[in-house]
Structure 1
């Protein structure tokens, strides 16, 4: 067996490895948000309802929710090169399928195949960064990943809007394909094996419980946020079955000598705080990134391209700030970034809760940019500090836990935000004399959107309270 973790870091071609990971990560995140902007066009072109169209996002999240927990096991069974090349092959296959898709069913299949590629890539990316960079340089490296993960979703809507107006939605995928192929070639040429293959025993029951648990939670919350509503039998059953399966999964992992995901990682307090901060941060990011474009397009009547342009500065600023925050984290630790960051996010959400049809473009751009600066101060420092506390052998488990809970946070955050928005609309219409009057629909929608941002502000306040418990980790278990 190859003791690949024993490779001296001086022998590693760090830059080519990093470029391969960043290219593939960038395009994975780009196609995710770019397609979201195209959903309204897809509903008309493919003659599908909004609830059906949302399955293009839900199916993607669901696949990630099922696959990412297994990634900790896969990282210990297969080499870095094997996993990287496999993930790129799935991404390329899914992208080609999507670009050629003649129907909704084929496009949904393509999204699932793409999600398999992303589900393999995300944990691999974080785990590889942890292994090839020493702890004192890890913040800057994670900041580079933050740049990619934030800039790609930021430019996705703008590029998609431009492509939809001038070509067709298929070009979202044709544009992504060459970048994926270049990333694959870089990986074949330069990717090195950096992890040790231990081949732990595979426990089928753990995989089943994990898949039902995370899959059920993601499916239940996503369905509630789309059209089913919280009272739906399907939603209630999915969430209950998911929650029970997760409890059984957790109990089983704690009893096993070689668990599928080593939940003993939660015994490290800063890891637990880091997981909670990342979870809350993802709820804020993904819920606001759903509600804000929805209001710009549906409420203010902007085109997808114009809405994307308004959100572009914030995304680019966030990307630029990520490496800067990484270096500041290496120098000062997480506390003096996370606390001010959460104050900034809370204030931005409070201002967003006053958004209306009279809000200017400048107001939206400045607020969104401020929100993105705050997010860059929270996300990467909390994540890196948490994983830094883990011993090296728990890195695969730590990255699997972080990445899995990000998908779950996305599903929960968006579902709750949409539910709050819908409830706000209904309560407004109950208070008017003629709820059927079309003149009342836009004020009702605005009232609902404002409520969704107040929900985001409440999540940020919870995060702010948690941030006071974060402490800088002194890394002594590896050099």
Structure 2
């Protein structure tokens, strides 16, 4: 049967894309509301970061089983399940009087996004003809990029004019529309199979990710050798070891650990994760910095984030063209150097950043990130044999979400530790915590530059893998 890009197919792509769009939109929109949530629920900075960290962590635990879900269940049922979980989370978020229930709602949103996130690209890959594939994949990327760009502005304006709960009220109307259009347009993508779920492997991965994150985020309020920190980290590492044992000799493993033996793949994956950690950490810091340190409004905090998101989208598009002509090394190196320059200046001026400086430095950093991020994934995957690309893609997607959660947690933890110094004003301790985070991120990006110099292949070697 000849593949065609029909209006119904476009509707199916946009309907599935709406779920990932709303998931990212709500994530970036709520970031600018953190100072408001801290006051309303009487919580600390390290607690409020869980509003987004939890979503990313839940997505990271769902992504590894997405391929098995798509083989076992009908495509339309997967879409409806994603919508139901997401909308249940929205309803809880809209009406909750308590912070812990807000987190429950966000967890349900994470489940919905984790189910729906791969669906849009699966529809594109299965239904779009090859000569239109690049264009439609670009449309899919633009949907998520638009959510990143619009989220902070949307969240700032809605919170300033109404309340933060309207972020979720508006999202629920858009989700209802997507439910009707998706139910009509989404068709089956593959033949269903009675695949056996790898419950043991999935549980080991999920427990490891959750406990490692809990241990890391507990450092702000507990000493290292407490059970909350060292205990969680130790059990998380043991769970990781159990996954290695279960998956090592399984030829149909959820995620094959043997792929990590490919150093070129592994090192570029590390660069990819470090870049995501830095980006989510900065996305957490600057809305708080603008409101707490510079005494700006919540809407101003949203607008200040917009130029950086636009630079990210533009540079990502440019990087794709450069990669096609020159290979991945050039956009990766240029992107890392630009990001390094931005974070270096953030570190130098860390406790005295004006709003204009934040706009310019965030745009410089984010433009560099846009240049290198997708190129690292492309280059990393081409370091693997074609038969391992699906497994490699699952690894990148899982660790992207976990790295994002880790970046948010890193910034929230360091700022919270600094804010424990009650001898200084809150705006001073917030600025100091932000600078500590800039220093850590600077170290990560320096490592990225070193790794990229050694392990990112030159153009003449790219097609030999």
Pick from 116, 121, 126 the counterpart of residue 116 of structure 2.
Answer: 121
| SS of residue in 1 equivalent to 2:189 | coil
For 1:177-256, list aligned pairs within 5 A: 177-195=172-190, 197-224=192-219, 227-228=221-222, 230-256=224-250
The CA deviation at 1:405 is 0.8
| SS of residue in 2 equivalent to 1:301 | coil
Pick from 425, 431, 436 the counterpart of residue 423 of structure 2.
Answer: 436
Q: Is the aligned partner of 1:379 residue 2:373?
A: yes
TM-score for the superposition, normalised by structure 1:
0.84
Is the contact between residue 350 and residue 438 of structure 2 (CA under 8 Å) also seen in structure 1?
Answer: no
Q: Is the aligned partner of 1:457 residue 2:442?
A: yes
Is the contact between residue 349 and residue 457 of structure 1 (CA under 8 Å) also seen in structure 2?
Answer: yes
Is the contact between residue 418 and residue 429 of structure 2 (CA under 8 Å) also seen in structure 1?
Answer: yes
Q: How many residues align?
A: 461
What is the CA–CA distance in structure 2 between the aligned matches of 1:361 and 1:42, rounded to whole Å?
22
The CA deviation at 1:335 is 1.3
The CA deviation at 1:384 is 3.0
The CA deviation at 1:476 is 11
Q: Is the aligned partner of 1:287 residue 2:272?
A: no
For structure 1, the residue ranges without an aligned partner over 5 or more in a row are: 1-6, 430-434
Is the contact between residue 141 and residue 323 of structure 1 (CA under 8 Å) also seen in structure 2?
Answer: no
Change (3 A) 1:336 1:14: farther
Q: Is the aligned partner of 1:112 residue 2:107?
A: yes
The CA deviation at 1:189 is 2.8
The CA deviation at 1:295 is 1.8
Change (3 A) 1:391 1:184: farther
Is the contact between residue 65 and residue 215 of structure 1 (CA under 8 Å) also seen in structure 2?
Answer: no
What is the CA–CA distance in structure 1 between the aligned matches of 2:261 and 2:118, rounded to whole Å?
21
Is the contact between residue 147 and residue 320 of structure 1 (CA under 8 Å) also seen in structure 2?
Answer: no
Is the contact between residue 75 and residue 188 of structure 2 (CA under 8 Å) also seen in structure 1?
Answer: yes
| SS of residue in 2 equivalent to 1:353 | helix
What is the CA–CA distance in structure 2 between the aligned matches of 1:182 and 1:91, rounded to whole Å?
13
TM-score for the superposition, normalised by structure 2:
0.86
What is the CA–CA distance in structure 2 between the aligned matches of 1:126 and 1:276, rounded to whole Å?
24
The CA deviation at 1:390 is 5.3
What is the CA–CA distance in structure 1 between the aligned matches of 2:178 and 2:463, rounded to whole Å?
32
Pick from 431, 442, 447 the counterpart of residue 446 of structure 1.
Answer: 431
Is the contact between residue 4 and residue 127 of structure 2 (CA under 8 Å) also seen in structure 1?
Answer: no
| CA-to-aligned-CA distance 1:164-222 (integer Å, 9 cap, x gap) | 22211210011112222233333223334334544432233223212211221222223
- Show the counterpart of 1:263: 257
Is the contact between residue 142 and residue 323 of structure 1 (CA under 8 Å) also seen in structure 2?
Answer: no
What is the CA–CA distance in structure 2 between the aligned matches of 1:452 and 1:102, rounded to whole Å?
32
Change (3 A) 1:345 1:58: closer
Q: Is the aligned partner of 1:339 residue 2:324?
A: no
- Show the counterpart of 2:404: 410
Change (3 A) 1:10 1:228: farther
Is the contact between residue 49 and residue 408 of structure 2 (CA under 8 Å) also seen in structure 1?
Answer: no
Change (3 A) 1:364 1:323: same
What is the CA–CA distance in structure 1 between the aligned matches of 2:114 and 2:304, rounded to whole Å?
30
| CA-to-aligned-CA distance 1:423-443 (integer Å, 9 cap, x gap) | 7788xx8xxxxx8364xx655
Is the contact between residue 135 and residue 388 of structure 1 (CA under 8 Å) also seen in structure 2?
Answer: no
- Show the counterpart of 1:365: 359
Name whichever of 113-122 and 409-418 sits farther off: 409-418
Is the contact between residue 154 and residue 312 of structure 1 (CA under 8 Å) also seen in structure 2?
Answer: yes
| CA-to-aligned-CA distance 1:390-422 (integer Å, 9 cap, x gap) | 566655533332222122212333344455556
What is the CA–CA distance in structure 2 between the aligned matches of 1:165 and 1:180, rounded to whole Å?
23
The CA deviation at 1:27 is 1.2
The CA deviation at 1:374 is 0.4
- Show the counterpart of 1:4: none
Change (3 A) 1:229 1:417: farther
| CA-to-aligned-CA distance 1:303-339 (integer Å, 9 cap, x gap) | 2211111111111232233333333333333211111
Change (3 A) 1:437 1:273: closer
Pick from 28, 37, 40 the counterpart of residue 42 of structure 1.
Answer: 37
For 1:49-64, list aligned pairs within 5 A: 49-64=44-59
Is the contact between residue 79 and residue 193 of structure 1 (CA under 8 Å) also seen in structure 2?
Answer: yes
